[in-house]
A and B are shown apart, each in its own frame.
Chain A
Amino acid sequence: MSTTTVAHHDEHTDHPTGIMRWLTTTNHKDIGTMYLTFSLIMFLVGGSMILGIRAELFQPGLQLMNPDFFNQLIGVHALIMIFAALMPAATGFANWMIPLQIGAPDMALPRLNNWGFWLLPPSAILLTLPFALALFGIGDGALATGWTFYPPLSIQGGIGVDFAIFAVHLLGISSVLGSINIIVTLFNMRAPGMTFMKMPMFAWGWLITAFLLIATIPVLAGAVTMLLTDRHFGTHFFDAAGGGDPIMFQHLFWFFGHPEVYILLLPVWGFIPQILQTFSRKPMYGYKAQVYSFWAIGALSVVVWAHHFFTAGLPVPALLYFMYSTMAISLPLAVLFFCWIKTMWRGSMSFETPMLFTVGWIILFGIGGLTGLVLADVAADAQYHNSYFVVAHFHYTLFAGGIMGIMAGVYYWLPKMTGHMYNEKLGQLHFWLTAISFNLTFIPQFFLGLAGMPRRIPDYALQFAEFNMISSIAAFVLGLSQLIFVYNIISTVRGGKKATDQVWEGAEGLEWTLSSPPPYHSFSEQPTVK
């Protein structure tokens, strides 16, 4: 392939076909497609796992599975959703859209890009293989510690922990490579005239995400490596008997883990204003304010980590510091919310599926943010820590705030990527089913948490039965509605009404100046931005 990439910009025949095209490709659109496909598959895998959990929690008592398997499903569900569904989806969009949005011919480091993607399938296999091995009597199943790997439990765990550690290593390398690529692309490949302060919000979101990733993923990699040597090579980083400290793991883990929340959200915060301005048919409000808020949130996100373990026995001055700094994040976030709402204000709005998802997203993500403020309060957190309130809170931020935002992006850019319009009716049906069943799944969980139901336990007291039943039924509706999404995507890829180049009436930006779908090699001559 390397011999043929030089000159044929306009032909579609200069790449291998069949499986070799996908294995060897260095084209940003191909790699973006692979990331997005992988992400969709893993979204369904992770979702099926949690349906197993909800089926078990449908009634009190143990019906379907033993507690150990329940724990494995919970831990692997979280790792898959975070590392194999949400992050690859954001990276997929970065690959597809960043070069188109900044007028670059491709990503800056195409070969690295290919490698970054192909690390993902092996890590997904590493995560799920222990389930299969256990069927053949090898080992005792997957990681059963929850995704947080807390020692001493993770030091005592079975081979599932080792598999998960290596999976995290691979996923981490993949993310770091992807991030380096995005940073270099955004620094070196912008079209002439496109200054940093003219970059689309999505590019900004990813620039900060990428810096957060390369600064924090290695800390996670270091922490799980220490865990590995504690397990097998006699070190005592986290083993109190040898002078180690299990709390130190929590510090290391959440030093990565909290920025990770913003790593997942910042790219989506980039989608939102772009979609809003398209369907409000007026320029976004407060571009500069949004960019500065991104920076403020990125900077604050690395100094607030200990609010994840307020109850671990931190001294009071530390508790106060982490409480105040956590609450401070709500200030730049409030600026963002204000800008989003003001962008819609007095716009001539229309509610196609991407806009429905975006407006729904603003409301639901708002609920996620506000319940986070409750948890940030040290005194309240003593009650809510490790309860279903926390589960509901972070699903409002990560399912509504993350995945529903990604879905908005999918509907928004799918016509550009495929050249076909998706089925609008099915898209709207998907939105309403998702939004309603999502709320029915998680609002009961807020109340369960307030009433004291602990998370990660397969059985519960009888008084929690009704809310759990509602939550389980709604979760199955939520899960099954995603099949509409999958069907809609597949049928759009295969055919449908031709999309125009601009696709949406109010869409602005370099990606909409290209044909739909864009040519295999786009912007070989960079456009000039005024």
Chain B
Amino acid sequence: MEIDADKREPSSTELRSIANKKLGYKMLWIVAGSLLFAFALVPLYDVLCTITGLNGKTKSTASELSNTKVDETRWVTVQFTSSTMPGLGWNFYPKQSSIKVRPGKVETVLFEAKNITSRVVAGRAVPSVTPGAAAAHLKKLECFCFERQALNPGETKVMPLRFFVSPDIPADVKEMTLSYAFFSID
């Protein structure tokens, strides 16, 4: 039947095979798209958490001291907790476990870290605020967590945190906890 094989029309089987490959390649775009989506989630997740404070994340840079009025009508209790992660030979704790603040008023609290090893150790503090909804309203003017901290053997360092609670904080938030986990970065 196929006397002149070179000039014949492509058979229906061949046409279908071409169509199959085309559709197969199109499907690869979905695969590529969802792979891209996975990596795009990394910055998106960060942005989402910083904007909404969903994950108790606070900004990692200093806030501007805006010209806010101090709200003298209410108190917010801010509690402090601290922990050190394995591999960091430090004692690290807040000098006061909690303070009552007026929203809008700048406060300073002190944290103390002591290197109990015999070598220089560098670490970084990672903050987290509970409840998450309060995270965006905790404004830090100065914090030891903005940069890495290094301690010489046996050195003790008192580290300040200057912050205020934004007066925009929802009225039902009467307490919040600021937790610092100190990680080794060696």
Contacts and interface: CB of A to CB of B under 8 A. Distances in A.
Interface stretch (A26-34, A217-225, A351-359): A217-225
A245 B49 CA distance: 11
A176 B20 contact: no
B56 interface: yes
A350 interface: no
Nearest to B29: A214
A219 B27 contact: no
B20 A241 contact: no
A262 to B, nearest CB: 16
Contacts of A242: 185
A218 B27 CA distance: 13
Contact of A218 (B24, B34, B183): B34
B126 A240 contact: yes
A4 B85 CA distance: 65
Contacts of B132: 313, 315
Given A221-B35, A245-B45, A187 B23 contact: yes
A109 interface: yes
Interface string A132-152: 000000000000000000000
Interface stretch (A177-185, A397-405, A443-451): A177-185
A243 B183 CA distance: 11
A247 B21 CA distance: 39
Contacts of B41: 219, 248, 251-252, 255
A219 B38 CA distance: 5
A215 B131 CA distance: 34
B143 to A, nearest CB: 14
A23 interface: no
Given A313-B132, A315-B132, A176 B24 contact: no
Interface string B28-44: 10111011011101100
Contacts of B39: 222, 226
B31 to A, nearest CB: 5
B20 A108 contact: yes
B20 A214 contact: no
B20 A109 contact: yes
B183 A240 contact: yes
Interface in B44-75: 45-46, 49, 54-57, 60
Q: Which of A214, A221, A242 has the most CB of B within 10 A?
A: A214
A65 interface: no
A241 B126 CA distance: 7
Contacts of B56: 313
A474 interface: no
A188 interface: yes
Interface in B108-159: 124, 126, 130-133
A223 B28 contact: no
B30 A214 contact: yes
A337 B154 CA distance: 68
B31 A176 contact: yes
Contact of A315 (B21, B60, B124, B133): B133
A429 interface: no
Contacts of B49: 245
A216 interface: yes
Nearest to B16: A188
What DSSP secondary structure best describes chain B's contact surface? helix
Interface residues of B, number: 37
B164 to A, nearest CB: 23
Q: Which of B41, B130, B132 has the most CB of A within 10 A?
A: B41
Given A184-B27, A315-B54, A221 B20 contact: no
B21 A109 contact: yes
Contacts of B23: 108, 183-184, 187-188
B3 interface: no
B19 interface: yes
Interface string A242-258: 11010110011001000
A113 B184 CA distance: 48
B76 interface: no
A218 B130 CA distance: 33
A189 B57 CA distance: 52
A248 B46 CA distance: 9
Nearest to B126: A240
Q: Which of A187, A241, A248 has the most CB of B within 10 A?
A: A241
Contacts of A214: 27, 30-31, 34
A245 B56 CA distance: 11
B181 interface: yes
A318 interface: yes
Contacts of B42: 226, 237, 248
A155 B181 CA distance: 18
Interface string A303-316: 00000000001110
A184 B24 contact: yes
A248 B34 contact: no
A214 B32 CA distance: 9
A112 interface: yes
Contacts of A217: 31, 34
Nearest to A152: B85
Contacts of A181: 24
A245 B55 contact: yes
Interface string B8-20: 0000000010011
B38 A188 contact: no
A226 B41 CA distance: 12
Contacts of A226: 39, 42
A343 B96 CA distance: 69
Nearest to B185: A241
Contacts of A183: 23, 27
A219 B55 contact: no
A418 to B, nearest CB: 29
Nearest to A247: B55
Interface in A24-54: none
A188 B28 contact: no
Interface string A178-202: 0111011001110000000000000
A3 to B, nearest CB: 14
Nearest to B133: A315
**Ordered nearest first, which 7 A-B pairs have the shortest CB separation?**
A222-B38, A241-B183, A218-B35, A108-B20, A218-B34, A219-B38, A180-B27
20 contacts: A109-B21, A176-B31, A180-B28, A180-B31, A187-B23, A188-B19, A188-B23, A214-B31, A217-B34, A221-B38, A226-B39, A226-B42, A240-B181, A241-B124, A241-B183, A242-B185, A245-B55, A251-B45, A313-B56, A315-B133
